[in-house]
Amino acid sequence: MRRVFGAAARSTGTITVARLTFRKEKTDRPIVQQQDLDACIDSLRQELDIVILNEDVPGLKDRPITTGSLAAYIRERVGGTVPIHRVRLHERADFFAEGLD
């Protein structure tokens, strides 16, 4: 794709919205510290924003690039940093996939 379109290949894609859900455990502490959440979101943006997923993201090279697969990948990545319950990835308002714990 890059051979044909060069740098413009990066601008072809879909806009996707991710909703991350955290489950509160029975504790007085917040489930996720804000600075940890901010760092996690920044890391995901740097890794996944304006890239060719199956070429530029090492963790996605051997996976199908589907909404469900991407939701599961995001859940795995976030779950390695903060406790997460669900990732809902919206490709459109009426179409989404989830990665659950």
**CATH number of the domain where residue 27 is located:** 3.30.479.10
pTM of the model: 0.76
Total domain count, the chain: 1
Q: pLDDT averaged over consecutive 10-residue blocks of the chain (101 residues)?
A: 54 73 71 86 91 89 89 91 88 81 66
Contact 86, 75 (CB under 8 A): yes
Contact 63, 41 (CB under 8 A): no
The whole domain housing 64 covers: 15-100
Q: 71 exposed, middle or buried (CB, 10 Å; 0-12, 13-18, 19+)?
A: buried
Residue 62: inside a domain, yes or no? yes
Q: CA 37 to CA 82: how far, in whole Å?
A: 7
Instruction: Please tell me the predicted confidence (pLDDT) of residue 4.
Output: 55
Task: Give DSSP secondary structure letters for 78-94.
Answer: HHTTS--SEEEEEEETT
